[in-house]
Amino acid sequence: MVNNDLGEEDIEEVLESHNRYRVVIANGKESRGNPGPQPAARTMMELIWDDELAVIARRWALQCKLFEKDQCRDVERFRVWQNVNVLNMDIVKNSTSRERIHFHITSWYDEVEDFDNAEVG
């Protein structure tokens, strides 16, 4: 995804995929974890697209050094978090952009299996 700008359908998939998982967490329906289940969220708003953050995220992606955490992510309006995901293109070579986005977000979310529910704060 680093080499291509996201189109409207791609943005829609990013938002739909994230928000689908956010609803699961917000409602306390995630049973996985180490240990699980994950507690319900106190305040988890629907994710919306932000053009400023999209520009910044693209710059980070183009400069990314895999598994190094950068320190300069925040914008004036709020704090920003970083997620890194590596995709073996052989697995998805015949997939659409939308399918690859869904795959990335799902594989990132599935890390909940390793998340200690006591870490939620």
- Is 36 within the bounds of a domain? yes
Q: How does residue 54 score in pLDDT terms, banded at 50, 70 and 90? A: confident
Q: What is the CATH classification number for the domain harbouring 20? A: 3.40.33.10
| The predicted structure's pLDDT at residue 72 | 62
pLDDT (tens digit per residue) in 60-94: 778 777 777 666 666 778 777 777 777 777 877 88
For residue 78, what are the domain limits?
Answer: 8-114
pLDDT above 70 for 2: no
pLDDT above 80 for 4: no
How far apart (Å, rounded) are the C-alpha atoms in residues 36 and 110? 13
Q: Do 100 and 81 contact (CB within 8 A), yes or no?
A: no
| The predicted structure's pLDDT at residue 86 | 76
| Residue that wins the pLDDT comparison between 53 and 21 | 21
Q: How many domains does the chain have?
A: 1
- Is 2 within the bounds of a domain? no
- Is 35 within the bounds of a domain? yes
